[in-house]
Chain A
Amino acid sequence: MPENIVSAVIYAMVIASIYAVLYYLNHKTPVPKGCENLNVKCEGCKISSCELHPSRKIKEEVHD
């Protein structure tokens, strides 16, 4: 049983480390040109409660 737990702890540390390394490498990888501000295009729809709805941006500009 103790060997089992030791294996589990070592195994958990290994896979967590692999994830941490890949996360770091991904973070360091530069974003391709033209993809700096990726977001889902919003042309405006009837879902007016959405934060991305264009009418919300107009209201914010008016308040400002």
Chain B
Amino acid sequence: MGEIFSMFIAAVLINNIVLAKFLGICPFLGVSNKLDSAFGMSLAVIFVIVGASIMSYGIYYMVLVPLGIEYMMLITFILVIATFVQFTEMVIKKYSPGLYKALGIYLPLITTNCVVLQVTLDNIANEFNFVNMLVYSFAVPIGFMLVLLLFATIRERLETSDIPEAFKGNPIALVVAAIMALTFSAFAGLV
């Protein structure tokens, strides 16, 4: 239990996927202008990462390893993620129009999100068992959501601040992201 908790805290804070590993920068900068958009994107990312991780983990150990074609891992995971996103979008369109209105626009964006692929690859590279895989796959998008929401609140405040013309938009956003990364590096040694 302690190990699982440590893994969860490490994935969310210490080895944060955005601020420590510098992945998922595209949605981090692109969808963090408004808190509503950031929240919607975060929920969609959590769902896709957990689902795609379970599927890719199962396919790796039940298909690729028995057939001796582990080298097909990368292309498999990419296709699994894309397939899962297509399936999810189709189901949401049909059975939950409200959810589609809230999250639908973000789902195709998540297909190309490198965070999803990184999590699926990490699950194999770290030789996680099923429980550890689930915890890691849930913790990483939680860390992504935490950082995205924090960043969105800061950017909303920045809109009403007096910023030099040259720094408006992405420059000040990157400065803020750098300071956040430095701040999060202080969590090292926590666990």
Contact = CB atoms under 8 A, between A and B. Distances in A.
Interface residues of B, number: 34
Contacts, number: 82
Nearest to A50: B169
Contact of B105 (A16, A22, A38, A49): A38
Interface in B105-148: 105
Contacts of B90: 22, 25-26, 29
Nearest to A39: B105
Interface string B74-85: 011001101100
Nearest to B103: A38
A34 to B, nearest CB: 7
- The main secondary structure of chain A at its interface with chain B is loop
A40 interface: yes
Interface in B19-33: 31, 33
Nearest to A33: B97
Interface of B: 31, 33-34, 36-37, 63, 67-69, 71-72, 75-76, 79-80, 82-83, 86-87, 89-90, 93-94, 97, 100-101, 104-105, 158-159, 163, 168-170
Those 8 A-B pairs whose CB atoms lie nearest each other, nearest first: A32-B97, A26-B90, A47-B169, A22-B86, A8-B69, A38-B105, A19-B83, A26-B86
